Amino acid sequence: MITEIPTPEDFRHAGLSLLNLAWDAVSSMYLDLENSQVEEWDEKGEATGEFWRSAQRPLANAVVVAQQGIEFLLKARIAEVTPLLLISTQPRDWPSRCDREDTAFAEFRTIDAQDLVKFHDAVHPQRLEDTFRTKFQRFRALRNSIMHTVDKRLWHSAHELCVQVLEASHALIGSYKWLELRRDYLQSIPVAAVYDEYEPTWQLSWEACLLLEILTHAEGTRYLGVQAKQRYYICYQCTVNLRDSDLQPKTAQLHPNGPASVRIYCFVCERDDAVVRRPCSEATCKGNVIQEEDSVCLSCFNEVAR
Ligand SMILES: [Zn+2]
Ligand SMILES: [Zn+2]
């Protein structure tokens, strides 16, 4: 009998862990760039260009890792139908004596990466979208060239890598799931195991703000569910959770969008909050969206007289 058969959850866990590893790499590059304050004095963009030039090898590594993660997520979906489908070869090529002795699943050869999408769409009740299929093939080709040669013409973009991860999360896990998956991952990193106070809120909010900066409007809507052309306000809950940090993430939007709207939603903490509409009392602030309970302006975060 075939033993030690992995569950869809096992594959998903392996895949998400790799996607997060790739994401960590990109996120830390953006953080370094911000902390070095290069962009503030680098008017011609020369130093910033140099930064990304020097980032090419780590970015290429991250592409490889992310692609590996995506393949695991595809296997997870195939395994939802049944994990045994992943065994690709004819019984005659199976491990010898597997009919006589218990043999672990890992001893069997599984489907080649290049066939995963086709195989998935043949067996899974929900076929993949064309956008994902196209991106997957492109990144697979890119991964192969990274693995097999040093092609100096290749240029790896951090933005594109983020989109690769977000598209995979969208297509293989579900809409607007990445930040939730990211939170779960950050809550499982080694420091979280030994330090009770560890909270990934800062990292998550910082990354969410970064995404609003680097994604196109269409990408923001597709992957985060935000209304990209609509104004953003400081999320009260996220900012309170950030305590001592000076980050005030503008990750909340009115819904519906309108001058009379009294509800605000943050795509990071997923809280839907009540606001009142009256002008902020700060002379320099044009805000008119005030958090109801504590009377705080969500444009400048000052307390407003009631
Ligand atoms: Zn929030
Ligand atoms: Zn204000």
Q: How confident is the model at residue 198 (pLDDT cuts 50, 70, 90)?
A: confident
Going from the Cα of 270 to the center of ligand 1, the distance in angstroms, rounded, reads 6
The confidence band for 164, taking pLDDT boundaries of 50, 70 and 90, is very high
C-alpha 275 to ligand 1 mean position (Å):
14
- Identify the nearest ligand to the CA of 179 by its number: 1
Q: Which ligand is nearest to the CA of 271?
A: 1
Q: What is the CA radius of gyration of the chain?
A: 23
Q: What spacing in Å lies between the alpha carbon of 249 and ligand 1's midpoint?
A: 8
- Going from the Cα of 280 to the center of ligand 2, the distance in angstroms, rounded, reads 5
Tell whether the model's pLDDT for residue 191 goes beyond 90.
no
Residue 41: pLDDT above 90? no
217 Cα to the center of ligand 1, angstroms: 20
Residue 42 CA to residue 273 CA, distance in Å, equals 40
The answer, yes or no, to whether residue 262 has pLDDT greater than 90, is yes
**Between residues 32 and 152, the one the model is more confident about:** 32
| Residues near 11 by beta carbon (within 8 Å), at least 6 away in sequence | 72, 73, 75, 76, 79
Residue 247 Cα to ligand 1 midpoint, Å, equals 12
| Ligand 2 mean position, distance from CA 294 (Å) | 13
Q: Give residue 286 CA to ligand 2 midpoint distance, Å.
A: 6
Q: Which 8-state DSSP code applies to residue 129?
A: P
Looking at residues 63-71, what average pLDDT do you find?
97
- Which residue type does 237 have? Q
Model pLDDT, residue 88: 84
Mean pLDDT of the chain, nearest integer: 93
Q: How far is the CA of 273 from the centre of ligand 2 (A)?
A: 17
Lookup: tokens for 230: 């609509």
pLDDT at 91: 86
The pTM of the full predicted model, rounded to 2 decimals, is 0.92
pLDDT reported for residue 43 = 86
Residue 278 pLDDT > 90: yes
Q: Report the range of poorest mean pLDDT among 27-36, 81-90, 211-220.
A: 81-90
Where does the pLDDT of residue 150 fall: very low under 50, low under 70, confident under 90, or very high at 90 and above? confident
